[in-house]
């Protein structure tokens, strides 16, 4: 069994914004500009999704009186040797 800890949405948004800033700072190829524009659009869509989901989760948690309800994701790798 493999356990993966999930990052809070705020950390994921920060990471995506940092990646986007680095890409924008280091991008210089005119021939790759359409591909870069699409990548930028996808990153911004992911940030927007995280913001909307994070807001909905925070609202649901506050209404239910819970704090952070994020739990680790457990992935089964198949049968384990004993």
1, 80 contact by CB (below 8 A): yes
Does the residue 76 lie in any domain? no
Total domain count, the chain: 1
Give 39's contacts (C-beta < 8 A, 6+ positions apart). Answer: 23
Does the residue 23 lie in any domain? yes
What's the mean pLDDT in 54-58?
Answer: 69
Structure tokens at 81: 């040797």
Q: What is the pTM for the complete model shown? A: 0.59
Does the residue 20 lie in any domain? yes
Give 12's contacts (C-beta < 8 A, 6+ positions apart). Answer: 50
Q: What is the pLDDT of residue 21?
A: 92
Q: For residue 39, what are the domain limits?
A: 9-65
Is the pLDDT higher at 26 or at 80?
26
């Amino acid at each position: 069994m493999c356990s993966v800890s999930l990052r809070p949405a705020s950390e994921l948004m920060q990471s995506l914004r940092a990646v986007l800033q680095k890409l924008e700072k280091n991008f210089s190829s005119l021939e790759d500009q359409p591909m870069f524009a699409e990548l930028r659009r996808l990153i911004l869509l992911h940030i927007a999704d995280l913001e909307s989901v994070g807001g909905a989760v925070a609202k649901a948690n506050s209404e239910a009186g819970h704090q952070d309800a994020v739990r680790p994701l457990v992935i089964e790798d198949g049968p384990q040797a004993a």
